[in-house]
Structure 1
């Protein structure tokens, strides 16, 4: 069964399945993005971070 990450809540629930280096990287990228004026948690860049986490967890 593949893990799907579509929200921050999904990401939070699955952090224990990710290497610490990936968690730090994703966290920094999301924080940096959200500091930009006009950014949103629904932006494609954030969705890309979710897909990256999914791929790591699902072994892709």
Structure 2
């Protein structure tokens, strides 16, 4: 699963304002010179999104 697929799956499981914040951070990072979608920063955001999604799933359960 690619970073993009993983982050999308996680973003679908959380409130819009949280998803928007993560998406904005990634978009801002990618708009910088030389930043790529497989940079360690993107992986950090993927992990954050996945962990946040788990927390929201537990609250909803």
Q: Which of the five TM-score ranges fits, normalised by the shorter chain?
A: 0.7 to 0.9
Alignment TM-score, normalising by the size of structure 2: 0.76
Unmatched 5+ stretches in structure 1 = none
- Report what 1:40 is aligned to: 36
Contact 1:6 1:47 in 2 (8 A): no
Structure with more of its chain in helix, by fraction: 2
Runs of 4+ deviating beyond 4 Å: none
Aligned residues: 55
TM normalised by structure 1 equals 0.77
Structure 2: gaps (5+ residues): 56-61
In the alignment, the residues of structure 2 paired with residue 44 and residue 50 of structure 1 have an alpha-carbon distance, to the nearest angstrom, of 10
